[in-house]
Amino acid sequence: MNKALLFLFFICIYSCKQPKKETISSTFLTLPTNIDYAQGFTIEKTSPDVTMIRVSSPWPESEESFTYALVPKEKLSTITLNSDEYNAIIGVPVQNIVVTSTTHIPALEALGEADKLIGFPDTKYISSPMTRKRINEGLVQELGNNESLNSEMVIALNPEVVVGFSINHENKAYETIQRSNIPVVYNGDWTEETPLGKAEWIKFFAPFFQKEKEADSIFNSIKDNYNNAKALAEKAKNRPKVLSGALYKDIWYLPGGKSWASTFIADANAEYLWNGNSSTGSLSLSLESVIEHGHDADFWISPSQYGSYSELRAANRHYAQFSAYRNKNVYTYANSKGETGGLLYFELAPNRPDLVLKDLIHIFHPELLPNYAPTFFKPLD
């Protein structure tokens, strides 16, 4: 009898010491984070301790949205969430992470969290010297490629979260990883149609490391730099005509008139020759139509991945018909590469639109930024 009473006494004392669990529903939304330009995600606080991220545009024309709950690790045992309301519940701050696009790398670095990256598919495409150093030291594991991510290697790494991107809802590797209780969260930064919209996705990464204030500061600086550069471009006395793109298998691919790339040209106070088009993606045109409309363009930017005039001429002799070619006014991002050949433009430009805009202002209006050293766009060799 005494032993039974003693046992019950200890059970009672232990139970009294257990923290009460707080049940939280995502229907009570407070304190939304300001997202001013990005259209593909929102962040809200469902309580002082729970951050809810909703990704509404994981891929173009998606009919699905994904919702993630981020909870401080020390609070996980005291908070009850309805798992049916979330695609994943993640303890933060995360100490190790796998990301799957080079555009994710600058966000980690800007937040001071590059050391948390432990795996990446196709590491050869990463250009950043900081992350390349970690790759060379064996701190970032090669995980195949995004289209066929090596799920077995990811599971063996056991990251706290995988930040993925996909062109549609069918990704068998992600499904396998999730079945192993490793959260996969979708990042749709690449679906944004405006320069500042893409850059604002740094706020998506921040809650995973509890660095929301830092992300706000970083983005506000980029936004101010971009808008100041745009205001500077408006002082230009001329507005040059601009051609873009190049041929691929007899089709000339170039930005649509309302696309991310064409917005840069407009904000640099230049006339993109296809600005009347309403497409936010790319256009597919014949060589003849491009020559007819763009043969007298003052500048030609982004001629695919050609790095020299000789390469351009060797690819197609008709390129020499363009005034920009004859006047040596062709500028490319293909000559700004990392040590293993990755193109810096594809990695950093979405995160730093202010640098892209300054590059173009320097090209179109050199008198406004006479001593500027370009980051991405440089003259063809």
Dump pLDDT digits (tens) for 199-217: 999 999 999 999 999 999 9
- Of the residues 222, 251, 279, which one is the last residue of a structural domain? 222
Dump pLDDT digits (tens) for 297-349: 999 999 999 999 999 999 999 999 999 999 999 999 999 999 999 999 999 99
181 shares a domain with 295: no
308 shares a domain with 339: yes
210 shares a domain with 290: no
Task: Walk across the sheet containing 88-92 and list its strands.
Answer: 30-32, 41-45, 51-55, 66-72, 88-92
pTM of the model: 0.90
Q: What are 47's two structure tokens?
A: 């309580």
262 shares a domain with 215: no
Dump pLDDT digits (tens) for 259-274: 999 999 999 999 999 9
156 shares a domain with 79: yes
Structural domain for 353, as ranges? 238-379
Query: How is 188-235 classified by DSSP, letter by letter?
Result: -GGG--SHHHHHTTHHHHGGGGT-HHHHHHHHHHHHHHHHHHHHHHTT
Dump pLDDT digits (tens) for 117-151: 999 999 999 999 999 999 999 999 999 986 779 99
Say if 2 falls within a structural domain.
no
Say if 9 falls within a structural domain.
no
CATH of the domain at 157: 3.40.50.1980
119 shares a domain with 242: no
Residue pair 258/277 in contact by the 8 Å Cβ criterion? yes
- The mean per-residue pLDDT over the stretch 270-294 comes to 95
Dump pLDDT digits (tens) for 343-367: 999 999 999 999 999 999 999 999 9
148 shares a domain with 47: yes
200 shares a domain with 246: no
- Of the residues 175, 190, 222, which one is the last residue of a structural domain? 222
Say if 228 falls within a structural domain.
no
- The mean per-residue pLDDT over the stretch 227-233 comes to 98
Dump pLDDT digits (tens) for 9-46: 343 433 444 444 454 444 544 668 899 999 999 999 98
**In total, how many domains does the chain have?**
2
Distance CA 376, CA 370 (A): 16
* Predicted local distance difference test score (pLDDT) of residue 30: 60
Residue 258: how many CB atoms within 10 A of its CB?
Answer: 17
Dump pLDDT digits (tens) for 169-193: 888 899 999 999 999 999 999 999 9
- Of the residues 222, 254, 286, which one is the last residue of a structural domain? 222
Q: Is 149 helix (H, G, I), strand (E, B) or coil?
A: strand
248 shares a domain with 190: no
- What band does 371 get if pLDDT is binned at 50, 70 and 90? very high
112 shares a domain with 52: yes
Distance CA 274, CA 281 (A): 12
